[in-house]
Every structure is written in structure tokens, then in C-alpha cells.
Chains A and B, each alone.
Chain A
Amino acid sequence: MILAIIENAFLSLVGSAIPASTVVVLAATGAMLGERVGVLNLGQEGLIGIGAVYSVIAVLSWGVQSPWMAMLIGMIAAAVAGLVFAVCVVAFRASQVLVGLALALGGIGLSNQLGTNRNGTLIKTLFREVNPGGVLDNNDLMSAFLFHDPIVYIAYVGLPLVLWFVLFRTRHGMNMKAVGENPAAADAVGVSVTGWRIFYSVLGASLTGAAGSYMVLAFTPSWSPDIARGRGWVALAVVIFAGWRPGWAVAGALLYGSMISLDTTAQARGWGLPFMGASDLSFFLSMLPYVVTLVAILIPAGAVKLGRRVRSTAAPAALAIPYAREER
């Protein structure tokens, strides 16, 4: 009996943690792409909002029928915003911190404004779960771990594998890392630092836009103001936790997602502790994802400090430093 309850709770935790983390995995991968070539985009929160709101507009106002198409539209919108950001910081060398914060603010404001008349309208064009054969019912172990929508597989398996392969097994990836670590050297061997930086930060922005689209096309699934609710900032933290390695970003995002689902599960089931009532516990648990994320950033840095050998967890050396050939 007790075992069944625990199993049930565990499964619903896992089952909700995986989709909850997907948003952060996508955004963190997007942020990581830009940071690998030396562009720190603090505007993730805004990009999530822009991606989400344009997917909502595509579905509700433009009559788009396919979730893939809606996501593509969200990604393009975020890419346009990312392009404005990239031109400001890469071509004009403006401060990445200031323009990034501006993008966060502007993106949140713009998406909230565009979403005003669409608050709470349920989105029906959703990504469907992949359930081969439909053999297993919803409460099964397999269902919690395996049967999710296609974006989950892309975010957790496809993207990290591709990015890992490109970064660590190809010449192209070597060039990317060179642009982020030592742009002058990359420039000397004929890699256009400006071009690569703009390209990859725009690509990263579109991935973060996809994170926002996923929120409205699978997770929530409706528009509400301030839709990102800090997930963009968590994604930036996850990149630090992951030490700029794609696989570890998945782990970091899952850590955050499991805290989120702990909160929602506890609320839904009215869990309490002997010294803390159910409502107090849920207030406490809603702070936990951010606290855990904060601690998670400190772990790799602390490990380095204590003399543990941690492989390649340092930030790209040229991160957030504008590059100008004339000043080499």
C-alpha cells in the first residue's frame, strides 16, 4: 500500500519533471550555442516570451494547423529579435550585458502586450505524445519515462548529441570554440569572427524561441503574461552549471524541473510536514527551484576551489568581450 503510494508519487514526479525541464533544456542549449562563440545573451527570458507569443498568434489568429509550423514561426520571431541583439553587440560592440538585459525587458514587455487579448485561450494545436501502438496506459512506469511528445526526444537526446558531435568531433566545432576562446587566432586562420558570432547567436536565439513555443504548444498550453517565469534566467544558470557541455545541460535542467514538479505534485496532493502545513510547504517549495539552481552554479566553482580536477568547466575565455580586428 505504502509502496504503491510512493511509486505513484514518484511516477507523477518524473512524468511532470520531464516536460517541465524541456523548456529549460531548449533555452539552455540555445544560450550555450551563443556563449560557445563568445556571445552572452542575457535576454533569454524575453526570447522565450517572443517565441511563445508568436506561436500563440500563429495558432489563434493566423489559423496555423500544425504545431511544427507554429513552433517554426515562434523560432523565426525569436531569431529576428536575436539578430537585432547580435547586430548591436557583435557588429557595434555594445555591452552584451546592457543589451541582453534590454532584450529581456523588451521581450517580456512586447510579448505581454501582443498576448493581451489572448490570455488564457486554450491552444488546441498541440504536440501529441508518441505512444507506439498505444499499448500502455497512462499510469505505467513506461509512460512516465518514455511516452512524451517528439520535442522531448529532440531536446533531451537529439540536440545534445548533435551539439556534442559538432563541438567535440568536427573541425567546424573546433572553429566555433576558437571564436569563443581566442577570436584573434580564429580570425588569423580565416574564420570570420563577426559572421560566426552573429550566426550562432541568432541560431541560439531561435532555439530559445522554440523553448517558448514548446511552453504554449505542449506545456501550459495557453498564453499567460510573463510566461517564462524565470525559466530564461534558470537556463543561463544551467549553462554555467553544465560547464558549457551539452549533455550536462540536460542534467541541470532536470534538476530544476524535478524541483518544479515536486512543488506542483505537493500542491496537487496536499502534502504537508509535521512542522509545516500544506500551504506553508507549497510556499516553501515554490522558492526551492531557484535556490537549488543557485546552489548548482556554485558546485562546479566550489569543486575547482577545493582542488578537485573538473574537466573543462571554465567559461569560454572571450565570453562577453567584443572583438575588433583593428584592435588585435
Chain B
Amino acid sequence: MTPLGSIAGAVLSATPWRLDRRLEVDTRRAALSRISGAVSAMVVVGILLLLTGRNAFWILWQALDSILGSQRGIEGVALRAIPILMTALGVALSLRMKVWNIGSDGQFLMGGLAAVGVGIHMNGPGWLVLIVMAVAGTLAGAAWILVPALARAYLDVNEIITTLLLNFVAFQLVVWASLGFWRDRESAVIRSTERVPVILEKIPGAESVTIALFVPVIIAAALWWVFRSTTIGYEVDTIGGNPRAAGFAGIAVRRRIMVVMLFTGAIAGLGGMLQLSAPGAQAMNAGFSAQFGLSGFIVAALAGASFWGVMGGGVCIAAMFYAGVLLQTKGLSVYIIFASYGVILTGIALGEIAARYRLARRDTEETGTGSDAVAADHASEGAGS
């Protein structure tokens, strides 16, 4: 009936290979194959660039060499790691529940915007202003995901599109703030909001990195503990495994979804505040979030919702990100970097499959696949869509 469709079907069934589900997938194998997926994707990108006459391997090597060789370079990585880690931790938390928060860029922006609002209007001792800014940023991030969370929990509306649409709204709001209602009317910079006079304390010995660096570490440790030792963590993991089973077990699924989603927004929002109160930032403009949410999402996907994995992956991506800034001066545009993000994410997704399946020849014996487990797994993947 569909000639092309049946041709495609015939080609696929003619191959002597098929995918066999592994009976057990241990987390180490899963992580390894995700990472190797990402690395081989990077190699593919590098070869493609080589074919178009750009030696990406050499450039990347040079960039990494100059980063890791100096304090300035290491601090540059740390500065970018903070926002990326915050958004990544938020996404990783939602992934524990198989909820996709694609809106962390928006929550990050709103956190920064709320912090600016407090910072330019509040008078008081610096430490108090900073605390109020942090609270405002956290609440704003949570508020920004409130509607998608309510819709997901109580109306069963998929959160992917709703969280993403709000990114555009947040971006326009930041543009409005920096060109309109909070515009800086005094300095020559007319495309940003007024500057917040206070900044966070610097780490002793550092030129630009503030104590904000400790915040993602503390949050990662707290989340790790919650998921290791508390009932709530266990319940969230259960919902992530199979929401219907969790409901039958008496877990308040809807309420847990609400709480987790609000927390993911709050973490991203706090990330926005931290970014704002770094020395030199201190004001909002249209470029405030240099796709930190996106990078955070990739980190979370790579780490597979393991919080310590997020820390490691986040630092790596931050180094790449900072290298990207240097690469731009050597003929690689930011667009190529985003295009390669796409390839890397595909590599991660394929790596995930490689961990769960193995290639087997069609004529080999059937391995017993637990069809119930498979069905349950798929049911949970499709939940909410």
C-alpha cells in the first residue's frame, strides 16, 4: 500500500541482524556506553570538520592546553560550570521521574531577572540583599514552571512543549526588562538592565570565581542523599520506573510530580541568581543565558540522572564551552558548536540503546526476553506524552 514503506520494511527485515534486549543492564555499562556514544559522536564531528578543511582535533587540543595551563583558564571553566551545573542538576532531578524539563533556560532567566529586580530596588546591607536575591531567584524559577507542573500533574499535559514555550516568553520578558522597564539609563550600555551593586564573596585566591561554586556541589550532595536514604527519593524513583505501579502502591504521584518539578525550576532559578551575582555580570541582557539550559540538558542526558555524574559531565561540557569561545577565534563558529551538540546528543541516545540491546544474528537462538518488564518499561517511557 505504501510502496516506499514496504520497501523500507523489506530492506530492514532483510538484514541478518536484529536487536536483542539485554536481560540486565547495570548502571556502569549504561554510563560507559553513553559516554562512548558521546565520544564517538565527537570523533564523527571532528572527521566531518576535517573533510571541510578544519582540523578540529588540533584546534581543540590547543584550546584545552591553553585552558588547563593557566589559572585564568581554569577559572573560566569554573565560571561557566556554575550555571551549567545548576540547570543540569535541575534537569537530572526531573529525569529521575522521567519528566523532561526543557524549560531550564527560561527558569534560569527568570531567576536572574527576579534577582536583578531585588538587587536594583532594595537598600540594605550587602549580605541581606544577596540572600533576598537568592530567595527571589529560587522562587521565580519555581514559579516559572508552576503552570507546566500543574498541567502535567493534574491535566496530564506533556511537559516538554509547555516548558519549552515558556523559554520564549522568559526571553522576551528579559528583552523587555533590559530595553524597557529596568533599562539602564545612566551608563553607555543601553541594551541591559541597571547594574546590581553587590556581588558574592570571591573564593580566597581566585580572581573571579565566587563562593557560588560551592552551591551546585552542596545541591548535588543533598540530592544524592535524598535519593539514597529517604522515602521521598525512593518514591520519586518508583514513579520514574512505573507511574501506574507507584500509584497502586499508594504514592501520591501527582503531588510528587508537582514537588519535583517545582524543585527543578527552583534550582535553575537559583542558578540564574548565582550567574547574576558573579563579578562582571550584575545585569541582565538578551544574551544572559548563553544556552546554559541546553548545555545543562545535555549534561543530564549524558549523566543519566546520576548526580555525581552530572558534576563530572558538567565540568567537561563547561570546558568544551569555554574552549568553544577560544575556537571561535580560530575559525569554528558558534553554529558549528551547536550543530555538534546535536550529533553528540544523538550519540548519547544511541549509546543508551547499545547498553540496553545487543546486536544478534537473526538465526541465533531466541534469548528469553522478559516481555512484562519490557512492557512496563515502555509504558513508563510513554507516560505523559
| Contact flags B321-337 to A (C-beta < 8 A → 1, else 0) | 00000000000010111
- Could you say which of B154, B155, B161, B333 contacts A116, with CB atoms under 8 Å apart? B333
Q: Is B292 an interface residue (CB 8 A)?
A: no
| Contact flags A257-294 to B (C-beta < 8 A → 1, else 0) | 00000000000000000000001100110110011011
| CB pair A101 B297 closer than 8 Å | yes
| CB pair A301 B157 closer than 8 Å | yes
Q: List 16 A-B contacts (CB under 8 A).
A: A92-B350, A95-B349, A99-B349, A103-B346, A106-B343, A107-B342, A175-B1, A192-B10, A195-B2, A225-B335, A286-B175, A298-B147, A298-B151, A321-B381, A326-B20, A326-B21
Q: Is B348 an interface residue (CB 8 A)?
A: yes
Q: Is B227 an interface residue (CB 8 A)?
A: no
Q: How far is the CB of A254 from chain B (nearest CB, A)?
A: 17
| CB pair A194 B378 closer than 8 Å | no
Q: Is B218 an interface residue (CB 8 A)?
A: no
| CB pair B339 A93 closer than 8 Å | no
| CB pair A105 B341 closer than 8 Å | yes
Number of B interface residues in the complex (CB < 8 A): 70
- A interface residues, Cβ below 8 angstroms from B: 40, 42, 46, 88, 91-95, 97-99, 101-110, 112-113, 116, 171-172, 175, 192, 194-196, 198-200, 225, 230, 233-234, 236-237, 240, 279-280, 283-284, 286-287, 290-291, 293-294, 297-298, 301-302, 304-305, 315, 318-322, 324, 326-328
Whole-angstrom CA separation of A88 from B6 in the bound complex: 18
Q: Is B234 an interface residue (CB 8 A)?
A: no
Q: How far is the CB of B42 from chain A (nearest CB, A)?
A: 13
Q: How far is the CB of B77 from chain A (nearest CB, A)?
A: 22
Query: Which of B125-133, B164-172, B243-251 binds A?
Result: B164-172
| CB pair A94 B173 closer than 8 Å | no
Interface of B is mostly: helix
Task: Please name the 3 residue pairs, one residue from A and one from B, whose CB atoms are nearest each other, closest first.
Answer: A106-B342, A195-B9, A109-B339
| CB pair A233 B165 closer than 8 Å | yes
| Contact flags B352-377 to A (C-beta < 8 A → 1, else 0) | 11000100000000100101001100
Q: Is B382 an interface residue (CB 8 A)?
A: yes
Q: Is B40 an interface residue (CB 8 A)?
A: no
Interface of A is mostly: helix
Sample of 8 further A-B pairs with CB below 8 A, known A102-B343, A105-B345, A109-B335: A106-B341, A113-B336, A196-B5, A198-B8, A280-B180, A290-B172, A301-B151, A324-B374
| CB pair A286 B172 closer than 8 Å | yes
- Could you say which of B5, B19, B160 contacts A198, with CB atoms under 8 Å apart? B5
Given A93-B353, A283-B172, A322-B378, decide whether A195 and B346 contact each other with a Cβ distance below 8 A.
no
Given A88-B350, A233-B165, A290-B169, decide whether A324 and B341 contact each other with a Cβ distance below 8 A.
no
Given A102-B345, A106-B343, A301-B151, decide whether A195 and B20 contact each other with a Cβ distance below 8 A.
no
Whole-angstrom CA separation of A105 from B340 in the bound complex: 9
| CB pair B352 A192 closer than 8 Å | no
Q: Give the chain B neighbours of A200 by CB distance below 8 A.
A: 5
Whole-angstrom CA separation of A321 from B181 in the bound complex: 46
Q: Is B123 an interface residue (CB 8 A)?
A: no
Given A298-B157, A327-B374, decide whether A172 and B357 contact each other with a Cβ distance below 8 A.
no
Q: Give the chain B neighbours of A113 by CB distance below 8 A.
A: 333, 335-336, 339
Whole-angstrom CA separation of A11 from B350 in the bound complex: 50
- Could you say which of A42, A106, A230, A290 contacts B160, with CB atoms under 8 Å apart? A42
| CB pair A290 B20 closer than 8 Å | no
| CB pair B5 A320 closer than 8 Å | no
| CB pair B385 A290 closer than 8 Å | no
Whole-angstrom CA separation of A230 from B155 in the bound complex: 24
**Which of the listed residues B158, B342, B375 has the most CB atoms from chain A within 10 Å of its own CB?**
B342
| CB pair A94 B350 closer than 8 Å | yes
- Could you say which of B100, B151, B366, B374 contacts A97, with CB atoms under 8 Å apart? B100
Whole-angstrom CA separation of A102 from B294 in the bound complex: 10
Q: Is B102 an interface residue (CB 8 A)?
A: yes
- Could you say which of B5, B13, B165, B340 contacts A294, with CB atoms under 8 Å apart? B165
| CB pair B342 A94 closer than 8 Å | no
| CB pair B21 A192 closer than 8 Å | no
